[in-house]
Amino acid sequence: MDAIILAGGKGTRMQPLTATTPKPLLKVQGRPILEWSLLGLPPVVDRVIVVINYLQEQVEAYMQAQHIFPNYLLVQQQPQPLGTGHAIQMCEPHLHSDAFMVINGDDLYSATSLSDLAAQPLGILGASQDNSAKWGVLVTRDHHNLDHIHEKPPEGTYPLPVQVNAGAYKFDRRIFDHSLTLSIRGEYEITDYVSYLANLTDVTVVESRFWFPIGTPQDLEAAQNLEIERLVGTLR
C-alpha cells in the first residue's frame, strides 16, 4: 500500500529554524522528523510518496540517502502549494494502490496507532486534547464513526477532553470523485475530502496512543525530552 507524507510546507511558525532547513528535516533526538515518520509507517506500507516544495533539494538529498523505503517517489506541488488537499491532488496520478495512507511529515505518531489506522477500510486518527479551540474536533456517530470535523470550536462547545484531528488518514481513490473548492483561507483542504467520505460511508476514528505535533521551536525543544523510542515504537 502507498503512503503519502506531506513535507512541502514552509514551517513559518518554526522560524528562524526553518530559514535554511525544511521543517521535516529538523532533528528530534538525532533523527529528522521525516525519518521518524518513515520509521512509524506500518509494514503494510511498501511505497511512499513524499510531497515536497520548500527547500525541496534538501528533502530530495535525504530521501536519496535513506534506506528505510527504497521504493519512494517525490512529488512537487505545482505551480505553487495551495493547501493539503492540493498536495493530495498532485499525488493522484502516481498512486499505485487503491487504498492509501496520508500523514503529516512534521508530526510524531505512535507506530502502533498508524498500524491500527491502516487496518481500517477508511479512517482518521484522533488524539485526546484539553483545548478544543486550537484543533479540528472529531464529532462522531455510533461512538466511532466520523460525522464531521468542527474546526476550532469555541471553548465549552464540547465536554473536555475532545478527540481532535491528528493529521493521519486512511483513504481510497473515491476521494478523487469529489471536486475540492477553495476554503476561506484560499486553500484546498484535505479535511474536505474527509467530510466527503464521512457523508458517503463509514470513516472510523482511531484513537492515537501518542501524537506530538511540532509547530513551534518550543515544541521541537520539548520533543527532545520525550521517551521517543517507547512512544513512537517504530515497527521497521
Q: pLDDT tens-digit profile of 50-81?
A: 999 999 999 999 999 999 999 999 999 888 88
DSSP state of 119: T
DSSP codes joined into one string, 13-24: GGTTGGGSS-GG
Mean pLDDT (whole number) for 210-214: 95
**From CA 104, how far away is CA 35, in angstroms rounded?**
12
pTM of the model: 0.96
C-alpha cell at 63: 530521501
Question: Which residue in the block uniquely carries the three cell numbers 475540492?
Answer: 180
Checking DSSP bridges between strand 72-76 and strand 145-151, what pairing results, if any? unpaired
* Per-residue pLDDT reduced to its tens digit, 93-104: 999 999 999 999
Q: How far apart are CA 211 and CA 205, in angstroms?
A: 14
**Position 235, amino acid:** L
| Closest residue by Cα to residue 171 from 107, 232, 85 | 85
pLDDT in tens, 89-135: 999 999 999 999 999 999 999 999 999 999 999 999 999 999 888 89
- The half-sphere exposure of 48 on its side-chain side, counting CA atoms within 13 A, is 26
Percent of the chain with pLDDT over 70: 100
Whole-number pLDDT of residue 137: 95
Q: Compare 80 and 200 and report the one with higher pLDDT.
A: 200
Note the helical H segments in the chain: 33-40, 56-65, 84-91, 111-118, 190-200, 217-223, 228-232
Instruction: Work out the average pLDDT over 190-211.
Output: 96
In sequence order, what are the residues at sequence separation of 6 or more whose Cβ sits closer than 8 angstroms to the Cβ of residue 98? 172, 173
| Over residues 214-219, mean pLDDT | 94
Contact 164, 126 (CB under 8 A): yes
- Check residue 94 and report its DSSP letter: G
pLDDT of residue 159: 92
Model confidence at 9, in pLDDT bands (50, 70, 90)? confident
Q: For residue 132, which amino acid is it?
A: S
What pLDDT does 132 receive?
Answer: 87
Burial of 159 (0-12, 13-18, 19+ CB in 10 A): exposed
**pLDDT, the chain, mean:** 94
- Quote the DSSP letter at residue 183: -
Name the packing angle between helices 56-65 and 33-40 (round to 10°).
Answer: 50
In the chain, what are the domains? 2-229 (3.90.550.10)
3-class SS of residue 174:
helix
Query: Is 236 a residue whose pLDDT tops 80?
Result: no
